[in-house]
Amino acid sequence: MSAPLWARTATELAGLLQAGEVSATEVTTSVLERVEAVEAGIGAYLTRTSEDALGTAAEVDARRAGGEDPGPLAGVPIAIKDIICTQGVRTTAGSALLANYVPPYSATVATRIAGAGLPVIGKTNLDEFAMGSSTENSAFGPTRNPWDTAKVPGGSSGGSAAAVAAGEAVWSIGTDTGGSIRQPASLCGVVGLKPTYGLVSRSGLIAFASSLDQAGPFTRCVRDAALLLGVIAGHDPRDATSLPTPVPDFAEGIDAGVRGMRIGIPTELMAAGLQDGVRARVEECIGLLEKLGAEVGEVSLPTFAYGIDAYYLIAPAEASANLARFDGVRYGVRVDGDDVTTMNSRTRAAGFGAEVKRRIMLGTYSLSAGYYDAYYGKAQKVRTLIINDFARAYGSFDLLVSPTSPTTAFGFGERTQDPLTMYLSDVCTVPTSLAGACAISIPCGLAAEDGLPVGLQVMGQALDEVRVLRAAYALEQELGFKAEPPGWVAG
Amino acid sequence: MGISRADVEHVARLARLALTEDEIALFGDQLGRILEHAARVTSLDTEGVEPTSHPLPLRNVFRPDEPNFPAPCLSHEAALANAPAAEDGHFRVPRILEEEPAEGEA
Q: Is A81 annotated in the active site?
A: yes
Tell me which chain A residue has its CA closest to the CA of residue B76: A104
Any bridge partners for residue A218, and if so which? A172, A192
**B33/A420 Cβ within 8 A:** yes
Half-sphere exposure of A283 toward its Cβ, with a 13 Å CA cutoff? 11
- pLDDT value of position B104: 60
**B17/A345 Cβ within 8 A:** yes
Q: Which of residues 248-307 of A touch B (CB under 8 A)?
A: 303, 306
**B44/A365 Cβ within 8 A:** no
- pLDDT value of position A246: 94
The answer to whether residue B105 scores a pLDDT higher than 80 is: no
**B46/A385 Cβ within 8 A:** yes
The candidate with the shortest Cα–Cα distance to A297, out of A160, A388, A218, A395, is A395
Picking from B46, B55, B96, the nearest residue to A381 by CB comes out as B46
- Chain B nearest C-alpha distance from A94 (Å): 17
Q: Are strands A399-403 and A453-460 parallel, antiparallel or unpaired?
A: antiparallel
The candidate with the shortest Cα–Cα distance to A336, out of B84, B73, B50, is B84
Run of H or E residues at A428: none
Q: Is A194 annotated in the active site?
A: no
Q: Is the peptide bond preceding residue A119 cis, with omega within 30 degrees of 0?
A: no
Give the predicted TM-score (pTM) of the model: 0.97
Of the candidates A30, A95, A134, A156, the residue annotated as catalytic is: A156
**B79/A382 Cβ within 8 A:** no
Any bridge partners for residue A81, and if so which? A124
- pLDDT value of position B103: 66
What are the backbone dihedrals phi and psi of residue A218, each rounded to the nearest 5 degrees, phi first? -110, 135
Picking from B14, B49, B84, the nearest residue to A384 by CB comes out as B49
Taking contacts as CB-CB distances below 8 angstroms, the residues of chain A near B23 are: 354, 357
Tally of CB atoms within 10 A around A450 = 17
Taking contacts as CB-CB distances below 8 angstroms, the residues of chain A near B6 are: none
**DSSP helix/strand/coil, A441:** strand
Tell me which chain A residue has its CA closest to the CA of residue B44: A382
Taking contacts as CB-CB distances below 8 angstroms, the residues of chain B near A211 are: 53-55
- pLDDT value of position A389: 97
Question: In three state form, how does the secondary structure of B88-99 look?
Answer: CCEECCCCCCCC
Q: Is the peptide bond preceding residue B70 cis, with omega within 30 degrees of 0?
A: yes
- Chain B nearest C-alpha distance from A199 (Å): 11
**B69/A237 Cβ within 8 A:** yes
Picking from B51, B56, B82, the nearest residue to A384 by CB comes out as B51
Of the candidates A30, A95, A180, A203, the residue annotated as catalytic is: A180
Q: Which of residues 392-411 of A touch B (CB under 8 A)?
A: none
pLDDT (tens digit, 9 = 90+) per residue, A386-437? 999 999 999 999 999 999 999 999 999 999 989 888 888 999 999 999 999 9
Q: Is A180 annotated in the active site?
A: yes
pLDDT (tens digit, 9 = 90+) per residue, A315-345? 999 999 999 999 999 999 999 999 999 999 9
ipTM comes to 0.91
* Interface probe with A: pick from B4, B5, B16, most Cβ of A within 10 Å: B16
- pLDDT value of position B106: 46
Whether chain B has a CB inside 8 Å of the CB on A423: the answer is yes
Q: Which of residues 319-338 of A touch B (CB under 8 A)?
A: 320, 324, 327-334, 336-338
**B19/A349 Cβ within 8 A:** yes
Picking from A102, A306, A333, the nearest residue to B41 by CB comes out as A306
Distance CA A311, CA A155 (A): 16
Size of interface A-B (CB pairs under 8 A): 177
pLDDT tens string, chain A, 491 residues long: the values are 589 999 999 999 999 999 999 999 999 999 999 999 999 999 999 999 999 999 999 999 999 999 999 999 999 999 999 999 999 999 999 999 999 999 999 999 999 999 999 999 999 999 999 999 999 999 999 999 999 999 999 999 999 999 999 999 999 999 999 999 999 999 999 999 999 999 999 999 999 999 999 999 999 999 999 999 999 999 999 999 999 999 999 999 999 999 999 999 999 999 878 999 999 999 999 999 999 999 999 999 999 999 999 999 999 999 999 999 999 999 999 999 999 999 999 999 999 999 999 999 999 999 998 889 989 999 999 999 999 999 999 999 999 999 999 999 999 999 998 988 888 899 999 999 999 999 999 999 999 999 999 999 999 999 999 999 999 999 999 999 999 999 887 55
